[in-house]
A = this chain, B = another copy of it.
Amino acid sequence: MSGTHSRSTVHDFFGLGEEQNHRSEFHFDGDHPELFSSADNGPTPVEVVLVGLASCLTAGVAAVAQNREIQLRSVTATLRGDMDLRGILGIDPDVRNGFSGITVTYTIDADATADEIKALVAQAQKRSAVYDIVTNPTNVTVEVD
């Protein structure tokens, strides 16, 4: 591990009143691209957030479709996060560090009308944890041990 390269491990979580474990540990590498003088050993952290958003909304589409007995043949989400790098580079204090906005575009092939598909996506959006975390303020406390 060197430079901005980091490795993350996801293992246990707490649910239904007790500690739960995933079947196996999941590992992620994160890094910054060569453009930022880094080694590009993994996606950037902001891309990881887009991955979380995509998998949350898409799992929602699958769950809602099952509830509504809609047969999905394929679901593809394309995500675009817009960012003005003057923020993160500290060049302009009026520009935020994060995305100015995110666009998610779904292409869905299913046994359903266009309106049913739109309603499916709208319901997934309404129930999504990551959509909530990204669109609304979430308190983060950072401590040093």
Residues of A bordering B, CB below 8 Å: 3-4, 6, 8, 10, 13, 15-16, 20, 22-23, 26, 28, 30-35, 38, 40, 42-59, 62-63, 83, 85, 87-88, 90, 96-108, 114, 117-118, 121-122, 125, 127-145
Contacts and interface: CB of A to CB of B under 8 A. Distances in A.
A40 B23 contact: yes
Contacts of A136: 96, 98, 137
A99 B51 contact: no
B8 A55 contact: yes
Contact of A142 (B4, B34, B121): B121
Given A8-B55, A15-B35, A55-B6, A106 B144 contact: yes
Nearest to A96: B132
A29 to B, nearest CB: 8
Contacts of A108: 144
Contacts of A138: 98-99, 101-102, 134-135
Contacts of A13: 33, 44, 47
Contacts of A104: 140-143
A118 to B, nearest CB: 5
Contact of A128 (B10, B32, B63, B97): B97
